[in-house]
Structure 1
Amino acid sequence: MLPQRACQNIVPEPTQSAEIFQRHQIVREFYDEIKHRQELERYCQWYYATAKQHQQELQKMQGDLNILGWFTRRRRNNGKFIGKFNHSKFWLNG
């Protein structure tokens, strides 16, 4: 028969198992938090880069000619708007 001390080394005490599991959970949560923060940082960098690109594109578009405006039915006369929705002033001579 084995001495009682030898059996204690084979099967860990319940408190040791609980402590090991608790430490494992803490380490796991820590690494999950690190992963989450890295993903958030990567997303923020992408978002700011995309926003900067969109702002540059908007500034470029604002400097371009408004070709579509040439094809609309709106007309200007003496600085006053004469368009299809302003029926009383639509015709210049009448």
Structure 2
Amino acid sequence: MSQHLPHILPGLPPQVEEGFAAYQTTKQFYHEVQTRLEFQRYCEWYSVTAEQNRQDLKKMRGEVNILRWFRRS
């Protein structure tokens, strides 16, 4: 029976609604800024790591392969 009763909610004053809207917009903005900074840091880390890996691979290719000696029969 109580399911059929309408819910009565008082309306918020316009100043409060504007305050919530400004808060929500500010929160979304800072979240976007944080997300972009994290992505930029990740891209920089990835670039540095990739360059280190390239240098390691170049170094490894220049070294003598000891296992090749054991495979010769």
| 2:64 paired with 1:65 | yes
Aligned to 1:37: 36
Structure 1 residues not aligned, in runs of 5+: 1-12, 76-94
User: What are the superposed Cα offsets for residues 26-61 of structure 1, whole Å, 9 maximum, x if unpaired?
Assistant: 001000100111111111110000000000000000
Question: In terms of Rg, which structure is larger?
Answer: 1
RMSD: 1.2
Aligned to 1:54: 53
Secondary structure, counterpart of 1:71 in structure 2: helix
Structure 2 residues not aligned, in runs of 5+: 1-11
Aligned length: 62
Query: What TM-score comes out, normalization by structure 1 length?
Result: 0.62
Aligned to 1:92: none
Q: CA–CA distance in 1 between the matches of 2:21 and 2:54? A: 49
Report 1 or 2 for greater relative contact order, CA contacts < 8 Å, sequence distance ≥ 6: 1
Give 1:15 shift.
1.1
Q: CA–CA distance in 2 between the matches of 1:38 and 1:62? A: 36
Q: CA–CA distance in 2 between the matches of 1:25 and 1:71? A: 67
Query: What TM-score comes out, normalization by structure 2 length?
Result: 0.79
Q: Percent identity?
A: 47
Runs of 4+ with deviation above 2 angstroms:
none
Q: CA–CA distance in 2 between the matches of 1:47 and 1:59? A: 18
